[in-house]
Structure 1
Amino acid sequence: MGVGVRVGVFLPAAGFPGMDHGEVLAAAVEAAVAAERAGFDDVWIAEHHFMSYGMCPSAVTLAGYVLGRTERVTVGTAVSVLSTCHPVALAEQAALLDRVSGGRFRLGVGRGGPWVDLEVFGTGLDRYENGFEESLDVLLAALGRERVSAEGERFRFREVAMVPRPARPMLPVVAATSAGTVRLAAARGLPMLLGMHVGDAEKAAMVEEYTAAAGDLGGPEVAHVAAGVAYVADTTREAVAVMEETLPRWLGPGLSGYRPVDGRPYVPKDPVEYAGLLCRLHPVGSPGHCADTMLTTIERTGVRHLILLVEGAGDPALTIRNIARLGAEVLPKVRASA
């Protein structure tokens, strides 16, 4: 692939209606294996709780299994939710996977949302609304030091040894959907993960804001990651027709699974409108259209690491075929042109 360009797959373990939970998770694993076979650079696993939108409640756990089923690809979390876990425990898990995989694990973290998860796990709304910066700093200390302690508002513990320590510096990717998180990532010199719900212009603006806020910590060496949806067919019309038919079947019940922790009103996105938006923003189309869309995103945003949601057809066999076609018919043009 061109210098500094990476393309991976993004696996929420999407629970389409009628699919058994075990079938969904097995299909996600097989998709990861197929991505390695097709020549992708990495595999990223999402984390969700109590909903069919994503059936993986522990991205680090599934990442560990996928690392054992693969040999070459990097495997990351997109993302592990800091608002519902202890940052030192997450650092331990990340260091463990880093060691046993020979450096093939990549940690991504995010704030999450004001969801019922905070109630179930007992971390509370304050961790989501006010505690992300403190959680992130404790995580970074645990990943970067031989010994760590904390005297903060939410984390207080005596000094302990980090065992195992990562074999290399581990700088997590931070999911950024707000200006505050962009500035926080910039202040810590951490790359951003930009979501599939925004297009090239919004992503470019966030990268520009990051660069301005980062100062000496920013620059082209910061490898941001951009997520999107990808589906390839013989024609763009055919690909869009498939996605506009299948995506709402997942997005409808999936997005309605988000339950606020405090009873605040929540209106999910319209699944049909959202599916149409995703098709317009991302590489959904013929092989040439998909490659051109990816190259345009790279050019407009400056982000040279794309991760593609490939499960949108809702059928494990079609997901494997989609991955194979992307690897054979789309990635070569991106490699040659980026």
Structure 2
Amino acid sequence: MELGIFLLAAQFEAGDQGAVLTAALDAGCAAEVAGFGEAWIAEHHFVPYGVCPSAVTFAAMLLGRTDRLRVGTAISVLPNTHPVLLGEQTALLDQLSHGRFTLGIGRGGPWVDLEVFGGGLERYEEEGWAESVDLLMRWLTRRRVAADGPQYHFREVPVVPRPLTRPHPPVIVACTTPASAALAARQGLPMLLGMHADDTEKAEMIRTYDAAARACGRDPRGVPHAAAAVALVADSRTEAVRELRTALPKWLGLGLPAHQTLDGHPRTMRDPRTYTDYLCSIHPIGTPKECIARLRRTAEATGITRQLLFVEGAGTRERTLENIHRLGKEVLPHLQAD
């Protein structure tokens, strides 16, 4: 089993956002010391839920601060940027990190981001999203690229720099719907499944992916899908759950409703306390032994052996670093041996 950490640069209390970002960067560095193979950073815009607006920029900083760690974006919001620009940034980081960068992409939400960055709803909807992914992957795999689609039109230009990794740098697609799973399968790309989904839902997405892959002549076996999970190690499950019930509802209550939809209509959000209890029920929370057992159950139920652990749930820099240390020392070695 492969374990990485997943960072949201989550702002639990009002205050210095620079300190939040620095704490997330420190957590990424601590993950390398603790023995993790990879660290991932999320991207959000205009909300305190996560204060990193550029996952690629953060990844570049973390790659420069580490020697071995693979670093990924979870995710870069593709409708907010031009696929060629994101492709150039990916190739640049692939070259300079000697292949340690993974690009995670996703649609994001129908948020006001689409208005601010000019992508519009067309790039978020299925056809525009598929066109963007196709252009990105052509950029990462060819020497010259042109575009003549509904969203992107330009003459043929050379790909500079070309990526180091062949056939292309690792790319993973955040999938929350069967349509996104089918798109990832057609492109031959693995899925990143979110921490809101339980094992049954994740297993169903894998079945959807596998069927779509076979339908277009691709073999789905061995695709390195990944799944995010909340993880908190404590001396007892009661203590871990208490910490999360103290920190997460306030953070979720402030951060999730801050998302503004493009059309201004309100979106129904989960009740923060109910959602916290749900997360505690499906993820590795508790003693090291309980965390190990939970991660093994998920791998057995879904076939996903690549788990990205959200480690900031207790809400403080000190507890995040302690959590990374304990996961690395008391959980990781047992699962690496599986």
- The amino acid across from 1:193 in the alignment is L
What are the Cα deviations for residues 162-213 of structure 1, in whole angstroms up to 9, with x where unaligned?
Answer: 1111111224100000011011111111100000001111001110111111
**Does 1:241 pair with 2:245?**
no
The answer for the alignment partner of 1:292 in structure 2 is 293
* Alignment of 1:209 onto 2:208: yes
Tell me the residue number matched to 1:149. 146
The correspondence of residues 314-329 of structure 1 with structure 2, limited to 5 A, is 314-329=315-330
Q: Give 1:123's aligned residue.
A: 119
> How many residue pairs end up in the alignment?
333
Q: Please list the CA deviations of residues 104-158 of structure 1 after superposition, one character each: whole Å capped at 9, or x if unmatched.
A: 0000000111000001111111111141000000000001111111000000000
Name the % identity: 53
Do the aligned residues in 2 keep the contact of 1:150 with 1:157 (CA within 8 Å)?
yes
In the alignment, the residues of structure 1 paired with residue 19 and residue 219 of structure 2 have an alpha-carbon distance, to the nearest angstrom, of 42
Equivalent in 7, 26, 31 of residue 11 of structure 1: 7
Instruction: Output the CA distance in 2 between the equivalents of 1:123 and 1:208.
Output: 32
2:258 alignment partner, SS class: coil
State the distance in 2 between where 1:302 and 1:160 align. Answer: 41
Query: What are the equivalent positions in structure 2 for 1:1-338 lying under 5 Å apart?
Result: 5-129=1-125, 130-168=127-165, 169-215=168-214, 216-336=217-337, 338=338
Consecutive aligned runs of 4 or more in structure 1 exceeding 2 Å deviation: none
Query: In 2, Cα distance between the equivalents of 1:218 and 1:109?
Result: 22
Compute the RMSD of aligned alpha carbons: 0.9
Segment drifting more, 90-99 vs 214-223? 214-223
- Contact map agreement 2:101 2:169 (CA 8 A) in 1: no
Deviations 1:280-335 (A, max 9, x none): 11101111000110111111100111001000111000000000000001112212
Equivalent position SS for 1:266:
coil
Listed as ranges, the gaps of 5+ residues in structure 2 are none
For the residues of structure 1 that align with 2:220 and 2:86, how far apart are their CA atoms? 28
What is the TM-score normalised by the length of structure 1?
0.97
Assess if the C-alpha contact under 8 Å between 1:186 and 1:218 holds in 2. no
**Alpha-carbon contact 2:80-2:114 (below 8 Å) kept:** yes
The one-letter code sitting in structure 2 at the alignment partner of 1:178 is T
Of 10-19 and 143-152, the range deviating more from structure 2: 10-19
- Displacement of 1:220 after TM fit? 2.5
Instruction: Write the distance in 1 (CA, Å) between the matches of 2:219 and 2:49.
Output: 34
TM-score by length of 2: 0.97
Aligned-partner SS, 1:131: helix
Partner SS for 1:263: coil
**Contact 1:174-1:190 at 8 Å conserved across structures:** yes
The 8 Å contact of residues 140 and 171 in structure 1, kept in 2 or not, is answered as: no
Distance in structure 2 (CA, Å) of the matches to 1:219 and 1:160: 33
Q: CA deviation at 1:41?
A: 0.8
Contact (CA 8 Å) 1:194, 1:227: kept in 2 or not?
yes
Aligned-partner SS, 1:332? helix
